[in-house]
């Protein structure tokens, strides 16, 4: 897979995960368990997609770095999406 195609697929995965987190936080605001499960599922799936798509290496230190970077990106996407969902709920549901 060439680099441009990989970046497009990563951008699409991040956008889909962001939209899932926002939608789950906004539409499932009354059912916190379902919202939490959906948000955590989206973040975990994004982290695993990013980690599995990275370069494979036999050196454990580089593998741990790849896992840490992919997890940090997924958590940042989840937090940003959740913050937007909370803001939308605060602004629209009065």
The length of the chain is: 94
CA pair distance 30, 32, nearest whole angstrom? 6
CA pair distance 73, 48, nearest whole angstrom? 11
- Kindly report, residue by residue over 6-65, the tens digit of the pLDDT: 889 889 999 999 999 999 999 988 888 898 899 999 999 999 888 887 666 666 667 788
Q: What is the pTM of this model?
A: 0.83
- Please list, residue by residue across 29-44, b when 16 or more beta carbons sit within 10 angstroms of its beta carbon and e when fewer do: eeeeeebeebbeebbe
Average pLDDT over residues 1-7: 79
CA pair distance 87, 29, nearest whole angstrom? 12
CA pair distance 18, 9, nearest whole angstrom? 14
């Amino acid at each position: 897979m060439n680099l441009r195609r990989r970046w497009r697929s990563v951008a699409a995965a991040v956008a889909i995960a962001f939209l899932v987190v926002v939608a789950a936080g906004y539409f499932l605001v009354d059912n916190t368990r379902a919202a939490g499960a959906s948000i955590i599922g989206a973040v975990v799936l994004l982290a695993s997609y990013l980690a599995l798509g990275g370069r494979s290496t036999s050196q454990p230190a580089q593998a741990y770095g790849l896992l840490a970077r992919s997890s940090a990106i997924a958590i940042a996407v989840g937090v940003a999406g959740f913050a937007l969902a909370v803001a939308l709920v605060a602004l629209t549901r009065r």
